Amino acid sequence: MKFEVLEVKPEIAVDIYPSLSKLIDSAIKVTAGEYTLDSVLDGIVNGRYFLYVIIENYGSGSKLAGCVVLNKEEYVDGTDLNIFLLAGRNMKKWSANMMETIESIARDMGAIRIRAQGRLRWEKYGKQLGFTRTTSNYIRFLRDKPDWFTGDTQEVS
């Protein structure tokens, strides 16, 4: 099996987004409500976000294995490429290919870092991909947590 990481141009994103919405929604559901399917599509179409699909090629054909949504963030010391939504199946098989592509994208845009955030249990996975944990994110909800919120939580003692 061979995996390809392919850019989805903003002008065709609307056409293929319905086939990716289940995957993207699975990633959105573990956030704290910052995104919706519509807001992510809007960001892609308007060039604020970058969408890539991971395609698994095998003997007689190919199929969708996953997708990743990136955005560029500017800081006082330079540009970061941020992986903020990632979803798929059998990620261990294609994550190295994905990271090679993302690193190339980041270098081409002059980024000085690649950032990623994820659920608590992704720390081990992040280390395997070459990430170093630098911070933890904490959210204090000012209203009830949304019914759909399924993000990992951990009690602090």
pLDDT at position 157 is 37
Reading the block at residue 116, the tokens are: 């990623």
d(CA 95, CA 56): 12
The fold of 2-128 is Aminopeptidase (3.40.630)
Q: Label residue 55 exposed, middle or buried (CB < 10 Å: 0-12, 13-18, 19+).
A: middle
pLDDT tens-digit series, residues 83-113: 989 999 988 899 999 999 999 999 999 999 9
For the four alpha carbons of 79, 69, 27 and 45, in that order, the dihedral sign comes to positive
Q: Which residues have CB under 8 Å from 31's CB, separation 6+?
A: 85, 151
Structure letter (DSSP) for residue 20: H
**pLDDT number for residue 125:** 74
pLDDT value of residue 10: 96
124 token code pair: 């081990």
- The answer to whether residues 109 and 72 touch, using CB atoms and an 8 Å cutoff, is yes
| pTM (global) more than 0.75 | yes
Instruction: State the 10-residue block means of pLDDT for the chain, 157 residues long.
Output: 93 96 91 89 97 93 96 92 91 91 94 83 76 68 60 48
